[in-house]
Amino acid sequence: MELLQPDLGLFVWTLIAFIAVFLILRKYAWGPILASLGEREKGIADSIASAERIKAEMATMQSEHQKLMVQAREERTQMLNEAKDLKDKIVNEAKDQAKNEASKIITEARVQIDHMKMAAMTEVKNEVASLALAVAEKVLRKNLSSDAEQSNYAKMLAEEVSLN
């Protein structure tokens, strides 16, 4: 049983050795260890604060990015609409101009056709008149081969002309 109960002297010397080691460690080891732990704790706290700040900045930047994306989409849509409107306007103007040009060309063609028709009609009338005179002259020459017949025919024509 002696082994289970320590001797009082051993207990005191062990206590003195423990207190001596404790004081030496407290003065030379714990101060630097606690200072190092404090610095490390401060560094970790600073890192966490910095990470939080960066996270907040990232959230702000992401929000700004989303706003810019929405704005860019709106601008793109607006530009596409403006381009479509401009295209429609140009196409309509071109159609109107083409219709006007076509009307003008058709009108000019009709005027030219009318002039040509009138010229052709005049020429046909002149040709018909010339042919009628030529036929009449040949018929009369054949029918009126003697002077007496010619003179009787001239008298008849003179009477008809004076009657009209």
Could you tell me the residue range of the domain that residue 109 belongs to?
A: 8-129
162 found inside a domain: no
**What does the alpha-carbon distance between residue 64 and residue 73 come to, in Å, rounded to a whole number?**
14
Q: Residue 142: is its pLDDT beyond 80?
A: no
64 domain-assigned: yes
Tell whether the model's pLDDT for residue 133 goes beyond 90: no
- DSSP assignment of 103-140: HHHHHHHHHHHHHHHHHHHHHHHHHHHHHHHHHHHHHH
Residue 102 has pLDDT above 60, yes or no: yes
Q: How far apart are CA 18 and CA 40, in angstroms?
A: 29
Question: Would 49 be classed as within a structural domain?
Answer: yes
Total-model pTM: 0.42
The pLDDT score that the predictor gives to residue 71 is 95
Q: How far apart are CA 105 and CA 112, in angstroms?
A: 10
| 153 domain residue, yes or no | no
**Domain assignment present for 78:** yes
User: Is the pLDDT at 144 greater than 50, yes or no?
Assistant: yes
